[in-house]
Amino acid sequence: MTGQGRRVLVTGSTAGLGRGAARSLVDNGHEVVLHARSAERAADVEVLASRALGVVVGDLADASEVRSIADQANAYGDFDAVIHNAGIYVDRERMATGDGHARVLAVNVLAPYVLTALIDRPKRLIYLSSAMHREGDPSLHDIDWLSRPWNGVQAYCDSKLFVTALAMAISRRWNGVCSNAVDPGWVPTRMGGARAPDDLVQGHVTQVWLAVSDDRRAQDTGKYWYHRQAQAPARVTNDPAFHEALTGELSRLTGVALP
């Protein structure tokens, strides 16, 4: 069963899984705030935006714009759920943001961390992970790839390990907030490619379910989900010591403390 009239922010909602999740939520009577990287990308979803509560605009690779996104979101009032959907895949070389961070780290980890810290606390948080998180490096050595040779696949795996652990850390840290990670599968989005074998619709069903459903299981916290089934994530993602080390490093890199 799906609760009605929930207010949900979906990052990266101009294409792919985010757009599918946002459309599903709007179709089911929820108040949705879309997110677009730029005004031009916002124009791509003009029809959907006309049915949504609003649109926040900002590039997740730019630290100042991430802070602006948080301010724009807070202007809408409290959210029932935030779906941290936006992400990028493998950069063949280290692409540095204007702030000097590796782009994959900035978009996949630093941005959801900062938005989590700065957006007024919602009832539910959903973070997009990947089965590839299990290949991530938990050492936290040079997570910004400033000194070690660049490996795009490893950087992506690391980013998904970190964001999965962030979801679990929030579930321990914030009482009353349901925080979960979701593996959407390998789906045929712009990131996943046309030959991806999993179902695109199923890719966003779990995010929507966790965001608005009144089902008891959807109100669990600290879980890793694939197609509405809880699975075991990498063991380190549930390690409180790793949570503290990771959030400390993210705080250092961003200058934003997690409440």
Instruction: Let me know: does 128 contact 163? Beta carbons within 8 Å.
Output: yes
Q: Which sequence positions are flagged as catalytic?
A: 156, 160
Query: Residues 167-215: pLDDT tens digits?
Result: 999 999 999 999 999 999 764 445 544 454 455 567 789 999 999 999 9
C-alpha 138/C-alpha 152 separation (Å) is: 16
The domains of the chain, with CATH numbers, are 7-254 (3.40.50.720)
CA distance 75 to 41: 21
Strand duo 224-226 + 229-231: pairing: antiparallel
Q: Average pLDDT, stretch 11-30?
A: 95
201 or 92, higher pLDDT = 92
Phi, psi angle pair for 256, to nearest 5°: -120, 125
Residue pair 167/127 in contact (Cβ under 8 Å)? The answer is yes
Q: Which amino acid is at 192?
A: G
Helices of type H across 85-189: 103-105, 111-118, 152-173
Average pLDDT, the chain: 93
pLDDT in tens, 100-143: 999 999 999 999 999 999 999 999 999 999 999 999 999 999 99
Q: Give yes or no for residue 237 having a pLDDT over 70.
A: yes
Outline where DSSP puts E strands in the chain: 7-10, 31-36, 54-57, 81-84, 124-128, 178-182, 224-226, 229-231
Q: Name the pTM for this structure.
A: 0.94
Query: CB-based contacts of 102: which residues, under 8 Å, 6+ apart?
Result: 91, 94, 95, 96, 144, 145, 155
